[in-house]
A and B are shown apart, each in its own frame.
Chain A
Amino acid sequence: MSDVVVVGAGLAGLTAAIRLARAGRAVTLLSAGVGGLQLSQGTVDLLGYTPDRVHHPLDAIDRTADADHAHPYHHLRADGVRHAVEWFAEVLGPGELVGSLQTNVHLPTAVGALRPTALMPPSMAAGDLRDGANVAIIGLRRLKDLYPDLIADNLSRTDLPSGGRVNARGVHVDFVVRDGESDSSGLVTARALDDSSTLLRFADAMARELTDDDHVVGVPAVLGLVDTQTVWSTLQTRLGRPVFEIPLPPPSVPGIRMNASLTAHAKAAGVRFVMGGRVVGATREGTRITGLQTDTAGRLRLTRSPWIVFAPGGFESGAIDVDSYGAIREPVFDLPLAHVPSDPVVSADYWADHPLFRTGVAVDHSMRPVDPTGAAVLDNLVVAGGLIAGATRWREKSGEGIAIATAVRAADTIIEDGS
């Protein structure tokens, strides 16, 4: 029997599993499938908008923690987030994650908006553009998820958060990934670039389109699936100038890389992975969960462990159900939900801050789920990540910060318990 079962293979689940395993716990990670990290853009966002653009995320986290007691950061504060994310960055190492927790950078998106984030893969760092830079945005004719002219035109007419503007231009490269294929996904392209001769062909095709005036080059985030460091540095060397990756809509190559890396770290630390085991219910004695029921290969199995980290994700993962009558429920443990909106659950205005998306499980400082009075409802279960109530993560750009910091806090609750 494991000491801890972690439910969920997303960023929060993987982070908690690594933290626990490195502290000597025997960890089993149960998940319905591959986690949602593969859909993410591969950066570590702490806090990007409140709703004004955030330049110093730790300061903004403390302001949020003070102003909004229902926000997940209320329990973590800047100290908790820094402690967790610094540890997380050490796990991945500077070869995979760079940046500062003190100051956000603002990286071009695949439509040319400037998106705030704290940490990023080194291959994205040169996207933090400076006044007067001449930027070439390269699009691949056979890749349908990045349109370089649109990005360039939007970048050129945006005031940089650090002041000034850039001159950006779109560049089109017709790079054949596989013969006869006009529609090559980012994933297929990335996989091809792990091959060194393909990479050189790719670099040469780009070099032909650049001029001496192009200071910095933006490319779709397809620079290798396995060895991005080599692919990216080779490309920079061949082009003789900084190159940065621009994340694409899912499936996202940087998200896939981070998922692969964390999974490898977890396995190295001894975490046992059980995929295809959706947790559908639990057995309990009083306020203790005694076993988890998983729906595996058409039958229910019971997994027992003294502790559970519950990190199933948010609405996007189906971790919170909304039925056709509008009833909102956490379906596995029937945990009490906070921020449950009255009808209507979403606003008619697309751009509004929809109350539904703040709905989730409220937790205490130890990440135990609590009822409306603030009392913990279970003794041996802690919650991490997207299930926790109080933030519209995609909008305020806080998804990774909340996931990592709540996962570390949840793991530490178990580690400190010592039993």
Chain B
Amino acid sequence: MKSLETDVIVIGGGATGSGVLRDAAMRGYRAILVERVDLGQGTTGRFHGLLHSGGRYVVTDPRSATECAQETAILSKIAADAVEQTGGLFVTTPADDPEYADKFAAACLATDVPVQEIAVAEALRREPRLNPKISRAFAVNDGSVDAWKLIWGNVHSAMEYGAQVLTYHWVTQVLRDGDRVCGVVCRDDVHGGEVRIDADFVINAGGVWAGQIADMAGCPDVQVVPGRGVMIAMNHRLVNTVVNRCDPPGDGDIIVPIHTVCVIGTTDTKVDSPDDLPIPRDEVQQMLDAGEVLVPGFRQSRALHAWAGARPLVKDTRVAADDTRHMSRGMAAFDHLERDGVRGFLTISGGKATTFRLMAQVVVDQMCEQRGDTRPCRTGDEVMPTAREGRNYTVGHRLADREGDRLDDPLICECELVTRSMIEEHLTETPTASFDDIRRQMRLGMGPCQGGFCSMRATGIGHEIGALDAARANDRLRLFLTNRWIGLHTILHGDQVHQTVLDKWIFDGTLDVEHLPQAQEAGQ
């Protein structure tokens, strides 16, 4: 068994885990992150992309609201490349309680969430497709954030401080030495075999899976209930600012413009397993109805893709529900020394992507305290390496890039403007990457045709540069088509039916992908 040694192991490659890795590394600890699949493949990669102004929480959770406002300001600077400063609106639609608006405005003031009421005519000028029957409108500092870019920003920053990241490393054991956690054993799902990592400290940032990990460490009853949310990406930015319903938080109360699409979200249903997240048709219908309330005609627009994510809803049966020290800030930090008598092990879960940096700070502070170190957090002050240009994301950035290289570099994914060298570089560096891993890196196949043209090209390139043999190339292509379908089949209507059938003509018809030789036929 391969073995490694470090100061801190971080389990979980979402926003929180990558934030913890960065924080620990910046404080001078040697740190290794282990993730069972790809970075951002869990909850962080499956939300609508809202960077909260705080407005959503001003009435129901004022403390979270203030934290969101502060963190959004920080992230817009330290992770500028991941953040689009779209601005946001809270609007009172005919379906909303008209009295909520005044409560909302007062609560914004009380929580230091910047807000400005604007005339309905001005709101409609800014967002012409908005329901013209809105009665109030408030401008806030909502933005949208590319969660994957945020994670890689954290990771690149952490790596500059010497941290390591091991993806597709599935933790099978949390090692104990008496009352102390002393490391983990992982299964390497790409190269095979096991890896043992010894460390003084393990931080569990497993999100919805945090309870399972805590169990492995002998710290039972960390209850994380997955709350499934369904979201739908629409083909266009029907709105260019985040549009929220000015009403208490509810299902389908927001449309977030992000990249070339906009996303309606979301439902909230408690489910048994975070690994089994169906996209129920009734919830899809519920989201389409909700879209219609904010943007009339929403149902006639083209739905591209639906997905489900699982929020981590943390319950700790061992502390009282009003124990804010343990359950504060919409996040849950478990000190297992105090709770279970186990040293060297902390759990952080709950929370939201917007406040991941603060969550990391809280848990790394706890670690420092337990170790008796005084090392202040610096993550809010230093810009991530990926954001050093200091410019926020704008939707036209790839178009601008392609103006520079369009004659030299073939365009492989026309929808998302992905070039051949982008794919080649990634596959050369990470030959084991699946096309979904590449998708998370560069949005391959996420546009209107949902992989109709680019996925065959990516297959050919991966094979041509030697990253994949033919059998694996065929499997990757089939897997990518299968995975894209998960998000398509529940929302298949309107123009997306035409597109899907055109794609079927290409893959099943012209290319006959179904009858490519199977893997087992190879080598004869």
- Asked whether any CB of chain B lies closer than 8 Å to the CB of A272, the reply is no
Chain B residue with the shortest CB-CB distance to A314: B501
Secondary structure at the A interface, as helix, strand, loop or mixed, is: loop
Q: Size of chain A's interface in residues, with CB distance under 8 A?
A: 60
Known: A113-B517, A324-B300. 17 other contacts (CB 8 A): A41-B509, A111-B456, A113-B512, A114-B512, A144-B412, A146-B460, A147-B464, A157-B522, A180-B407, A181-B407, A315-B498, A315-B500, A325-B285, A344-B281, A346-B492, A394-B509, A397-B512
* A323 lies within 8 A of chain B by Cβ: yes
- Whether B512 lies near A115 (C-beta < 8 A) is yes
A340 → chain B, closest Cβ, in Å?
14
Q: Does B215 contact A (CB under 8 A)?
A: no
Is A158 touching B489 in the complex (CB atoms < 8 A)?
no
List the A side residues contacting B506 at CB < 8 Å: 249-250
For chain A residues 305-328, which have a beta carbon within 8 Å of chain B? 314-318, 321-326
- The residues of A with any CB-CB pair to B shorter than 8 Å are 39-41, 49, 53, 109-115, 142, 144-147, 149-150, 153-154, 157-159, 180-183, 247-250, 252, 314-318, 321-326, 343-351, 356-357, 393-395, 397, 399
CB-contact partner of B515 in A115, A153, A346, A357, under 8 A: A115
Residues in A whose Cβ lies below 8 Å from that of B299: 323-324
B29 at the interface (CB under 8 A from A): no
Q: Pick the contact of A395 from B453, B469, B474, B508 — CB < 8 Å? A: B508
Give the CA-CA distance A110 to B481 in the complex, in Å: 17
Band of interface residues on B? 35 or more
* Chain B contacts for A326, CB-based, 8 A: 493
List, sorted by A's number, 16 A–B pairs whose CB atoms are closer than 8 Å. A40-B505, A109-B511, A110-B511, A111-B474, A113-B517, A142-B410, A144-B420, A150-B464, A157-B470, A157-B471, A182-B407, A250-B510, A324-B300, A350-B481, A395-B509, A397-B512
Within 495-524 of B, Cβ neighbours of A (below 8 Å) are at 495, 497-498, 500-502, 504-506, 508-517, 521-524
Number of A-B contacts defined by CB within 8 Å: 165
CA distance A323 to B496 in the complex (A): 10
Q: Find A322's partner among B406, B482, B492 (CB 8 Å cutoff).
A: B492
* B303 pairs with A324, CB closer than 8 A: yes
Chain B: minimal CB distance from A48 (Å): 8
Q: Determine which of A149, A318, A357 lies in contact with B498 in the assembled complex, contact meaning CB atoms within 8 Å.
A: A318
A142 to B411, CA, bound (A): 11
CB distance from B210 to the nearest CB of A (A): 29
Flag if A324 contacts B493 (CB, 8 Å).
Answer: yes
State how many angstroms separate the Cβ of A114 from the closest Cβ of chain B. 7
Q: Does B220 contact A (CB under 8 A)?
A: no
Inter-subunit contact A315/B501 (CB<8 Å)? yes
Tell me which of A113, A158, A314, A399 contacts B513 (CB under 8 A).
A113
CB nearest neighbor in A for B284? A324
8 Å CB contact of A153 from B406, B420, B470, B513 = B470
Given A144-B457, A153-B469, A322-B497, A351–B514 Cβ distance below 8 Å? yes
